[in-house]
Amino acid sequence: MNRTGSAHWAGDLMSGGGNVSTASGVLSSTPYSYKTRFEQGKGTNPEELLAAAHAGCFTMALSLVLGQAGLKADSLDTTCTISLEKDGEGFSITRSHLELNAKVPGASQEAFDNAVQAAKTNCPVSKLFDTEITLSANLEQ
C-alpha cells in the first residue's frame, strides 16, 4: 500500500511560500510558509501534520490492541505534540508526546496500560520516528 502527498514551494525561505496536497484530496493546496512553521500564520506545517498522523495512527493501533483483548472503547481521544528545536545549524524533531484520554468499559488499569504501551511501540508512525516518544494516558472509570 502506498499513500501520496506532495508539496510546492516558490521563493526564498523567509518570504516564499507553498502548499501541500494529498492524493485523497483531504489536503488540497493547503498553504504553508515560514510563518506557519516558526511564527503564527494561516496554513499548516510539517510538524502539525506529523502530530496529526502520530495521534491518528496510535489511536487506531490502540483500538486494535484493545479489540484483541476483548475490549471496546467508548472513546479514545489523543493529542500529539511534536517538539521542533534548534540543533546546531538547523533544527531537529526532538520528541513526540502523546496524551490520551480513554473510556474503555471493563478495562482493568493493567490491561489498559499494556494495550497503550503495545500501541505506542507498534503503531507504524511510532516505528518511523527516530526520536523520543513519550506518553501520558488516563483511563476514565
Distance CA 123, CA 112 (A): 16
Low-confidence ranges of the chain (pLDDT < 50): none
pLDDT at 133: 95
Domain ranges of the chain: 5-38, 46-140
pLDDT at 5: 96
The CATH code belonging to domain 46-140 is: 3.30.300.20
Q: Burial level of 66, CB count in 10 A (0-12/13-18/19+)?
A: buried
pLDDT at 141: 78
> Does residue 51 contact residue 82 with C-beta atoms inside 8 Å?
yes
Buried/exposed 96-127: b ≥16 CB within 10 Å, e otherwise = bbbebebebeebeeebbeebbebbbeebebbe
> Does residue 4 contact residue 26 with C-beta atoms inside 8 Å?
no
- Number of H helices and E strands in the chain, helices first, is 4, 6
